[in-house]
Amino acid sequence: MRPIKSEHEARARALAQGNSEFAWNNSGGRDLYTRVSLKQQAVDDAFGYAQQIRDQLKEGIESVRPDQTVAFDLMGGNEICAWMEEMAELEDQNRGLEILVGVAGATGAGKTSLLNALLEYPELLPSSSTEAATATVCRIAWNHDNTEGHEFRADVKFRSREAVLKELNEVLTAVKDRKDLREQEFENEDERIEAIEELTNIISRGISKVCAVWNLDEGEIEDTAHTVESVLADNDQVEDILNKEFTIYSSDPDEFATEVKPFLDSTPTPEGIVAWPLIEEVRIYVKSEILRHGIVLVDLPGLSDMVEDRSAVAESYYQNLSVTAIVTPAIRAVDEKTGVKLMGTYQELRMQLDGKFNKDSFCVVVSKIDDMDCDSFCKGSREARQDARLQVEAAEIKSLSDRSKETYKEMRMAERRLDLLTRKCAVLKGKIDASKRGDENKRKRAAKLRTKRTALMKERTKLLTVRKNLSSDAAQHDRSLATLESRRKYTCVGIRNRYIKKRIQMDFARRQKKLTRLAEHDRHKYDGSVEVFPVCAAAFRDLLKDKKPMPGFPSKLYTGVPRLRQWLTEAVLLYREEHLDSVLLGLQRLHDGIRCWSDDNSRGTVCFSRTEVQSLLKSSHDKYQAMITGALEHGAKELKKLSPLRSNNEKRTSYRSLAVQAASRWVYKFPDDLNSTKKMTWMTYQAILKKDGGPFQSNGDGRPFYDFPLALGTPFLESLREDWLEFFQVELPKMEAPLTAKVAEIWAQYLNEVRNHILDTAPDIVPYFDSTIKTLENIKTELCEKISALIKALSDNASAMHPRFIDSLRGGLAPLFIDALKVTGKGHFTARQARLRESVSAQSPTLLTTAHARLEAAYKAHTARLPAAFHALVRAAFRQSTTHINLLLNNLQAHVSVGRDRTVLDRKVRLQKGVKAVALAWGAVWRSPVCFVEGGGGGGEDGDGDGGVGGGRREACEIPGVFVEEVNEDNRYEEDGEGSGEDGSDGDSDMEEDGSDMDEE
């Protein structure tokens, strides 16, 4: 090996020292919260310094035109432009982080109020228990737009014309069917009435939308020969907005809430259109702390609240949720019959298949915990009757109530006596005034009257003092009673919360037992526990608005909202860390590259032919890029050979009996309840068949939800659950290590060959190249991380694969439903059932084979996209490597220049000095973060947190175990009713004036 000049070695060491270890990439021993906080600060700091560098580079490059080839090359124009482009890509990558957190629950569960509380905007989204406020998918993300007047933004997307026409046609057809029913003759009049009533229930939801949007009367729709096109023509404004999107901007949250309200509930728009039935999706962008670092809150309708076309939008979100929060009201959660049935069978199954049915990805929110009558609860709850603290509180309340009643009784007696004395004094004053103008006897009488009045006034003065004291005592009793009642409410709510938590935990543990094999691989996630968060969004809202606290909720901590917000931000920390690691690797590469380019110790120190060096390097780039691409393509082929569907022959054989059993339950009103024998009406059955088996929601008793294809497919998906999960959650991730190891091996060969080329052609460059090896290794690390992310994405995409099985069944069953509808005449209800059972029994093997193939094809389709994705990653890695080496070469190359070139070089030197100063500051902050506090992110006031990870630490946000009433020192809460005088005199001060002459003679 040729000797290297010592001065080059010294300069290279100085350059390498500038790229030493940083705090964020040396944080492995810290806890997850601290690591993410540290990395987030590193990213924020880096983009701040990068913007300063970019501004300088942009100004420097703009002084040289690209057509001035020599000058542009001397300046390093191509390398600088590549650096700025990569920085812009990293900014887009950082801003593009979206971690979807779904908030799901039935109509009236309190989802919207909860979202408002999490966002800390009390009235941003309209709260309603109507279908209008639940059927539309609404997502809320961080607003990156800093334009004045754009602080709040909403993108509203209207449904397609085809979807609206289809729904409108279903409604008009059902209305016509009902009219025909009324005119038909029935042997049993009760049967006709029942059929009409059921059909009315079926069409009520649809017809209410038609009447609202097109301002039509239900009777008018039935009596007039309306067609779909004629109804559409009745409102040109509706025709104009279908298939359209538009944006709302506002700087004020209240104004924004008013403007967006018509698209989220039944409020008409300013043009008079009731728009909610026409809305497909609303995307809202606001600056709320919980959203700052990538969380996107999604207000999802329950499966029973979705119309057919909007269910596709909701389905796309369900497939991509990282965390799911199921919201259930406390009243419902405590009910023995419905409490633990928080989601449908398929919703639970899909979460299991997606690997999200665990305590890290799923939680239960018990809403409306304030909805409680304490007296009834204390009488009806065994836990309440056995709670010693509650019994003590009840005794204190009774004792104080008795004292309060006695005080108010004494006050009323004093009031009556005062009233009597006041009237007597007034009468005496009149008599005294009259006697002053009379003879001596009258004056003597007046003196006696004055003496009597003086005695009465003294008594009245004493009574005023007594009443004031009584009023003060009564007010104190009221305050003490309010505190005791509030404490009792807190205690009762806590008892019920513990009971609900226990029931939900037990039920969840029972359901999670089905995932036995997965639990063996990850006992932490699958330990049978789940987080349950009791919350009172209404109490949190009142505190946000500086209103008087609701009883039982003296501060925000007691509402449970801060703890839920904290858990949500903690639940996504791993997703955030993966994202931050990827961004930081790119930022470190760009930091090191610009340091190389701007280093003045090595500037212009080496004479070499840059063209020759770059030509040799290009041959190595091309060679090893092809080798890594080939290795990854081979890996993709191996992945494609795998299958998540194994050893299913026995399952296929047994599926026919499972399918027939499922089909036999289709006729029952509550098909999921195997103990229920109550059948649905023939009209409901017919309506479901007309909708290709569902989804269909009945408006009848219990509002049951029907989906025949889903019911048919669920047993088979349940049978492959364990194999499916083990494949995607355990076996597939094992493919990462050998693939990335092969990439690392080839990359090492690539760097070695590049070094040898440099050694042969320009040996003085070698020390500088060696000093940047770590950066080039980081490019390899970045590449391997992204390869792993692609394989992980393949596992995550399992959530988009298994729904294809149900889709296939829907397509295969549709002809069977159409065929069953052809059965008419007397007894058609029973005949249709028999026809369907026979068809399903005969066709189930074919249906299963087709659906099975569709599932296999879905996996193959995802793996088929891997080679192109791998190729793009490899191209990007070698482009980054080339850019980094070229930045180094551009700075090292010595130039003997005169004239214009000398001017360009002088300009470049000035630019490099400015850039170096910023790059050094950037590196210094990364090594010693100036604002970072170990274990930071404390709770702050009311446990709201400082926003380091979007919320406070766990210990600061739990609902307090002891009730402490907030002291209202600043009187900031709005009180109800009119206040009395300061002394409680209720305006009796005039009597003092009235008696001012009592000493007068």
- 981 falls in which pLDDT band (50, 70, 90)? very low
pLDDT at 972: 43
- The CB density around residue 860, as the number of other CB atoms within 10 Å, is 14
In the Cβ-directed half-sphere of 919, how many Cα atoms lie within 13 Å?
Answer: 26
Distance CA 261, CA 248 (A): 11
Phi, psi of 249 (to 5 degrees): -120, 145
pLDDT digit string, tens, across residues 475-493: 888 888 888 888 999 999 9
| 51, 55, 61, 63: CA torsion to nearest 10 | 180
pLDDT digit string, tens, across residues 609-646: 778 888 888 999 999 999 999 999 999 999 988 888 76
pLDDT at 288: 96
Distance CA 564, CA 944 (A): 11
pLDDT at 515: 73
Which whole number is the average pLDDT over 569-575? 93
pLDDT digit string, tens, across residues 143-185: 999 999 999 999 999 988 888 888 888 788 877 777 777 777 7
Structure tokens at 551: 């009883």
Distance CA 147, CA 190 (A): 65
pLDDT at 438: 64
Q: Is the pLDDT of residue 535 over 90?
A: yes
CA distance readout (Å), 43 to 21, 297, 522, 549, 598: 15, 23, 31, 40, 22
pLDDT at 949: 57
Rounded to two decimals, what is the model's pTM?
Answer: 0.84
pLDDT at 20: 52
Running DSSP on this structure, what letter comes out for residue 893?
A: B
**Mean pLDDT over all residues of the chain?**
81
Please answer whether residues 53 and 914 qualify as being in contact, where contact means their C-beta atoms are separated by less than 8 angstroms. no
Distance CA 495, CA 489 (A): 10
Phi, psi of 217 (to 5 degrees): -90, 145
Q: In the chain, pLDDT over 70 holds for what percent of residues? A: 83
pLDDT at 920: 93
Phi, psi of 702 (to 5 degrees): 80, -10
pLDDT at 153: 97
- 517 falls in which pLDDT band (50, 70, 90)? low
- The CB density around residue 470, as the number of other CB atoms within 10 Å, is 21
Q: Is the pLDDT of residue 579 over 80?
A: yes
pLDDT at 1000: 34
Please answer whether residues 589 and 89 qualify as being in contact, where contact means their C-beta atoms are separated by less than 8 angstroms. no
Q: Where are the domains of the chain?
A: 1-98+576-603+897-932, 160-242, 606-893
CA distance readout (Å), 604 to 127, 595, 607, 673, 896: 67, 15, 8, 82, 10
Q: Which of 732, 861, 737 is nearest to 792 (CA)?
A: 732
Q: In the chain, pLDDT over 90 holds for what percent of residues? A: 32
pLDDT digit string, tens, across residues 753-803: 999 998 888 888 888 888 888 889 999 999 999 999 999 888 888 777 888
Which whole number is the average pLDDT over 800-822? 90
Please answer whether residues 660 and 840 qualify as being in contact, where contact means their C-beta atoms are separated by less than 8 angstroms. yes
Which whole number is the average pLDDT over 62-84? 82
pLDDT at 703: 72
pLDDT at 795: 83
Structure tokens at 359: 């305590």
Most confident of the ranges 649-663, 699-713, 815-829, 974-988: 815-829
Structure tokens at 117: 């509380």
> How large is the greatest C-alpha to C-alpha distance in the chain, in angstroms?
142
Instruction: For the chain, report the end-to-end CA distance as a whole number of angstroms.
Output: 128
pLDDT at 931: 63
Q: Which of 502, 621, 530 is nearest to 875 (CA)?
A: 621
Q: Is the pLDDT of residue 663 over 60?
A: yes
Q: Could you tell me how many residues make up the chain?
A: 1001
pLDDT at 418: 86
Distance CA 518, CA 520 (A): 5
- 991 falls in which pLDDT band (50, 70, 90)? very low
CA distance readout (Å), 980 to 378, 406, 473, 971: 35, 21, 14, 15
Please answer whether residues 170 and 205 qualify as being in contact, where contact means their C-beta atoms are separated by less than 8 angstroms. no
pLDDT at 811: 92
Distance CA 158, CA 242 (A): 6
Structure tokens at 843: 């066709």
Region of 105 please: left (phi>0), alpha (psi -120 to 50) or beta: left
pLDDT at 996: 38
- The CB density around residue 1000, as the number of other CB atoms within 10 Å, is 7
pLDDT, greater one: 172 or 709:
709
Q: Is the pLDDT of residue 812 over 80?
A: yes
Integer-rounded Cα Rg, in Å, for the chain is 38
pLDDT, greater one: 410 or 211:
410
Most confident of the ranges 55-69, 603-617, 824-838: 824-838
Structure tokens at 884: 């980094």
Distance CA 237, CA 14 (A): 70
